[in-house]
Amino acid sequence: MGIEIERKFLVDHNAWQALNKPAGVQYKQGYILSDDTRTVRVRVTEHHGYITLKGPSGANRMSRAEYEYEIPIPEAEEILKGFTTNGTQKTRYRIPAGDFTWEVDVFSGDNEGLIVAEIELKSEQDVFEKPAWIAEEVTDDDRYANSSLALHPFKYWAKQND
């Protein structure tokens, strides 16, 4: 069984802007299924298409079953158009740090202004250093899940709290 173990953090915008970083990759993704126990997502980049299945999160919200398969880009685009009703757009940056690589998502569209960093671990006990641009941990906050952002975009959060 494929297991994803990751932690999620907000990113300090000023420190991120000052960081020398590689080119990012544009992602479009949509959800075929998304509920409390599983998600089925299709994702398209310039050079790849993927379909991903994710199971429920464990008690600590770090671990869950995950299966991801590359599919032809034309089919991924057809699935995005014909089978998904919501999704997100973002630019992903891969930043090596120590023994790990951070994946930093700079969201656009309805989630513009949100920057989230994820680190994938080999075990829940892995120790890692947080780069200076890492801010608050949000692993336990479901609002920051991409599937949640597709349904409840970041641009509406402030209005909901008013």
- pLDDT for the residue 107: 98
Q: Count of alpha carbons within 13 Å of 156, Cβ hemisphere only? A: 9
Q: Which two tokens stand for residue 68?
A: 């991801």
What's the CA gap between 95 and 77, in Å, rounded?
27
Collect all residues with Cβ–Cβ distance below 8 Å to 112 and sequence separation of at least 6.
154, 155
- Tell whether the torsion through CA atoms of 70, 71, 72 and 73 is positive or negative: negative
Spans of all domains in the chain: 3-161
Write the CA distances from 16 to 67, 70, 72, 113, 133, integer angstroms.
30, 30, 33, 12, 6
| Mean pLDDT by groups of 10 residues along the chain of 162 residues | 90 96 96 92 97 84 91 98 96 95 97 97 93 96 94 84 48
Q: Which fold has domain 3-161?
A: Hypothetical Protein Pfu-838710-001 (2.40.320)
Could you tell me the sign of the dihedral formed by the alpha carbons of 144, 148, 149, 154, in that order?
Answer: negative
* Predicted pLDDT at 44: 98
pLDDT confidence of residue 148 = 94
What is the Cα 84 distance to its own chain's centre? 17
Instruction: Return the active site residues.
Output: 31
Please tell me the pTM assigned to this model: 0.92
